[in-house]
Amino acid sequence: MRQESGMGTAVERTYETLREQIGRGELKPGEALRQDHLAAALGVSHVPVREALTMLAADGLAVSRVNRGTVVAALTAEDALELADFRALLEGRMMALAMPNLSRADLARARAALDALEAATDLADIVTRNAAFHAMLYAKAERPYFQRAVATARLNLGRYLFLTWQKVGNAQRSHEEHRELLRLCEAGDDAGAVALVQAHNRTTGEQIARIICEGWAA
């Protein structure tokens, strides 16, 4: 049993590491995910790498090709718009469910998280704190399956924005919308909060679709 537990830990650790590298744009769309190279780089055997790649493929973050190995999945503009619409519907529902459960203490923690997000300067830290802020609000919906689906869709889309933020920045619009979302939450404006979350996601999808059409560069 200890051996199985240890292998499970190695698989999860490998999966999370590769997932983060894809999300940060370190492993780019179309890049080959070679088991030998990854096993050596991560200091694990081929077994957890193989299992991790299977999990990434299930998430839509990698694609396995017969006799050609596994590569980081790429999105088309149409994929991006569909994922953004999926997120808009799911996150809008989560926001609606969360609103009645948000306490003053929850909102105070969200405000502190937002302050920390706006003060962050490292891009990787900004991306992590941004996701954490939304997750903090959505947690009050008490829908763990929804939460996991949103996290995967956010990662799949966010890797394209990550590359863009490195060049042109996207902080100001994001900060303004976060502040407005928090204001709506504090005011108990359920419909306003849901509408803002949905509009934010669809606007993000349109931006990513443009990035894909224009072509991203390393």
| Mean pLDDT along residues 62-68 | 84
CA gap 70, 119 in Å, rounded = 38
Helix crossing, 144-165 with 77-98: angle to 10°? 130
Q: What is the DSSP string of 58-100?
A: HHTSEEEETTTEEEE----HHHHHHHHHHHHHHHHHHHHHHGG
45 and 138 part of one domain = no
The separation between the first and the last C-alpha atoms of the chain, rounded to the nearest angstrom, is 44
Q: Is residue 210 part of a domain?
A: yes
Confidence bin at 170 (pLDDT 50/70/90): low
CA gap 32, 43 in Å, rounded = 18
Domain termination site, one of 34, 56, 72: 72
119 and 160 part of one domain = yes
CA gap 99, 84 in Å, rounded = 22
124 and 149 part of one domain = yes
44 and 90 part of one domain = no
How big is the chain by its Cα radius of gyration, in Å? 18
Q: With the CA atoms of 139, 144, 145 and 150 taken in that order, what torsion angle do they form, in degrees rounded to the nearest 10?
A: 30
CA gap 84, 106 in Å, rounded = 26
Q: pLDDT over 90 for what percent of the chain?
A: 56
Residue 77 predicted with pLDDT over 60: yes
Chain segment 81-109, per-residue pLDDT in tens = 999 999 999 999 999 999 999 999 999 99
107 and 172 part of one domain = yes
Q: Which two tokens stand for residue 213?
A: 């059409």
CA gap 137, 102 in Å, rounded = 8
Cα-based distances in Å from 22 to 1, 73, 132, 212, 217: 31, 9, 18, 16, 15
Confidence bin at 4 (pLDDT 50/70/90): very low
Give the CATH number of the domain where residue 55 resides.
1.10.10.10
Q: Which domain holds residue 114?
A: 77-214
Question: Helix, strand or coil for residue 44?
Answer: coil
Give the CATH number of the domain where residue 165 resides.
1.20.120.530
Residue 43 predicted with pLDDT over 60: yes
